[in-house]
Amino acid sequence: MTTVAYFISLLGKDNVLEDPEALAIYGTDWTRRYPPNASLVLRPKTAQEVSKILAYCNEHKLSVVPSGGRTGLAGGAVALDGEIVVSVERMNQILEVNIQEMWICAQAGVPLAALQDAAKKAGLFYPMDLGSKGSCQLGGNLATNAGGLKFIRYGGMRNHVLGIEMVLADGRILDMNASLQKDNCGYDLKQLFIGSEGTLGIITQGKIRLMKKPQPYFVTLIAVDTFSHLLSVLALCRKSTHTLTAFEFFTDAAYQHVKTCFPHLGGVFSDPHPFYGLIEVEVASHTQGEHPLFRLIEEAFSCGILADAVFAENAEQFSRFWSMRENITESLARTGRVHKNDLTLPLGSLEAFMKSVSALPKGGIEVIYFGHLGDGNIHINYIGPANGDVEAFRRDVRVLEKKVFECIAHYRGSISAEHGIGCIKREDLHYSRSELEIEIMRKIKAVLDPTGILNPGKIF
Ligand code: FAD
Ligand code: 2HG
Ligand code: ZN
């Protein structure tokens, strides 16, 4: 029996895709940087089917790319070299919402927004939130250890996981999906697979802790004249009695791109300022008629660190302010040519880092800064001319990016805060991981995937 015939007998004809259009769609992720080169797309429905797929691929030494919502920004879910793409999109069942124990159990292909909705329906709260929530999936969020917009308050995927079910490279199903709040029996193996970017197995199920429904959120948008002032406002927020749920920032250059794509998001401030911040707090009760952030903003003005501020007074303004921040990635993508860095630094080094990077010669490259400032997570997007020479842009960006990474290494920061390494940053892993760390990672990979079929060329 041929490989295709075997998979058709296992999954049915509709779930074994060979047409060029499907190969192109499933062979790439949101970066769209590499020409997709998948040989086959498989769409299993159960862990048992995934198990049979991997057992077969392992025996026949066929490489596999695990694929979720393909919103990844590191080239993790791309098929570069004739791999078989295993998409978990049909594994889209929410299996249980347990209110007493406060968790949700779902198959890997459930989109993030559906998990949020299911938790809400049960009167609880799913703590992850990403701009890609409509498309990214539980398995992808776990495999990348996604961070997101509320990390400052709730942490990332790692912090929420109670259990996972995995299929190993040889097809064995590793069930680590218990519902224990406390469990100290040896190594916590599930944590090894979280953030492993499809290189150690395929995640088929996850059990995620839910939280109490939060108190109402309040948002204000601030404008400042220097990056240092943003950090001073952050310091004031830390002292506030309100619980900070987001502290995001973006430059006016980023905002200009958003306004070009989404003109209805313009007109918030009467004058432009170099930096904007979005502050969100969770508030149990506050003085009627006064925005909960009013006192804090008043204090910031009196310290001379604020240039302007606008409170979200209603639900429409609240979502408008968030849209200004969440639409940056989409707006920059529409410029045609983007290269991304996703960096974290200790908060105390951020200002010096930004000064060093601002001083670097940029040539014709437009450099946009935004991100999750409260987490020390800066996204740098480098934009090249839409009709310019792609190769020249990549070469110039690479020269610049290496200098940025040297700066990151100097401050002991990370070259990947939340998107992962994928294939885009694999040559740069050494900026943030020592030789010994990389050696240990390679040994773990060799133990769990001795034939090397799982997502080759990613991370290493
Ligand atoms: P994919 O892109 O399909 O895959 C990502 C990686 O996980 C690949 O290496 C893939 O092989 C592996 N993988 C996928 N599914 C499985 C599985 N079932 N088992 C094993 N491995 C698997 N990320 C953040 O962290 N924070 C943000 O704020 C954020 N905002 C974003 C906003 C936009 C507009 C976009 C486009 C992306 C954003 N991202 C963000 C990046 C992306 O959404 C996340 O990395 C997300 O977790 C990827 O999930 P996915 O299902 O799309 O995975
Ligand atoms: C965000 O924070 C995402 O909006 C995407 O992580 C970042 O596009 C990017 O560089
Ligand atoms: Zn981000």
Question: Can you name the residues that pair with 308 across neighbouring β-strands?
Answer: 223
Residues 269 and 165 reside in one and the same domain: no
Q: What is the pLDDT of residue 386?
A: 79
What is the band of 286 on the pLDDT scale with cuts at 50, 70, 90?
Answer: confident
334 inside domain: yes
Q: Residue 147 CA: which ligand 1 atom is closest?
A: 25
Tell how far the Cα of 122 is from the centroid of ligand 1, in angstroms.
26
Rounded CA separation 268/275 (Å) = 13
Q: What is the pLDDT of residue 285?
A: 78
The total of other beta-carbon atoms located within 10 Å of residue 236's CB is 16
48 inside domain: no
Listed residues 212, 246, 273: the one ending a domain: 212
Q: Of the residues 329, 330, 340, which should be mutated to test ligand 2's pocket, given the most ligand atoms within 8 Å of the CB?
A: 329
Nearest CA to ligand 2 atom 5: 329
Report the CATH number at residue 404. 3.30.70.2740
Residues 230 and 250 reside in one and the same domain: yes
- The residue-averaged pLDDT of 198-202 equals 98
Q: What is the pLDDT of residue 17?
A: 98
Q: What is the pLDDT of residues 363-395, one digit of tens each?
A: 889 999 999 999 999 999 999 987 888 899 999
Q: Of the residues 71, 261, 379, which should be mutated to test ligand 2's pocket, given the most ligand atoms within 8 Å of the CB?
A: 379
448 inside domain: no
Residues 98 and 208 reside in one and the same domain: yes
Q: What do you get for the CA distance between the two ends of the chain, in Å?
A: 34
Rounded CA separation 349/123 (Å) = 40
Residue appearing with tokens 């062979």: 27
Listed residues 308, 326, 344: the one ending a domain: 326
Residues 360 and 261 reside in one and the same domain: no
6 inside domain: no
Tell how far the Cα of 241 is from the centroid of ligand 1, in angstroms.
34
Angle at 324 between CA 245 and CA 375, to 5 degrees: 35
Residues 310 and 356 reside in one and the same domain: no
Residues 295 and 307 reside in one and the same domain: yes
Q: How many domains does the chain have?
A: 3
> With a threshold of 0.95, does the pTM exceed it?
yes
Q: What is the pLDDT of residue 388?
A: 81
Residues 241 and 317 reside in one and the same domain: yes
Amino acid at 240: S
Q: Of the residues 250, 328, 382, 419, which should be mutated to test ligand 2's pocket, given the most ligand atoms within 8 Å of the CB?
A: 328
- The residue-averaged pLDDT of 168-195 equals 95
Q: Residue 372 CA: which ligand 2 atom is closest?
A: 2
Q: What is the pLDDT of residue 194?
A: 98
Residues 369 and 316 reside in one and the same domain: no
459 inside domain: no
337 inside domain: yes
Cβ atoms of residues 198 and 70 within 8 Å? no
Q: Give the three-state DSSP class for 448.
A: helix
Q: Give the three-state DSSP class for 146.
A: coil
16 inside domain: no
Nearest CA to ligand 2 atom 8: 329
Q: What is the pLDDT of residue 290?
A: 83
Residue appearing with tokens 């919402």: 97
Residue 202, ligand 1, Cβ within 6 A: yes
Listed residues 281, 311, 326: the one ending a domain: 326
Q: What is the pLDDT of residue 100?
A: 96
Q: What is the pLDDT of residues 148-174, one digit of tens each?
A: 899 999 999 999 999 999 999 999 999
Residues 375 and 273 reside in one and the same domain: no
* Parent domain of 348: 329-419
Which of the ligands is closest to the CA of residue 202?
1
Q: What is the pLDDT of residue 287?
A: 74
Report the CATH number at residue 158. 3.30.465.10
Nearest CA to ligand 2 atom 1: 371
Residues 134 and 203 reside in one and the same domain: yes
445 inside domain: no
Residues 340 and 395 reside in one and the same domain: yes
Residues 271 and 311 reside in one and the same domain: yes
The total of other beta-carbon atoms located within 10 Å of residue 283's CB is 17
Task: Report the range of poorest mean pLDDT among 292-296, 308-312, 317-321.
Answer: 292-296
Cβ atoms of residues 52 and 16 within 8 Å? no
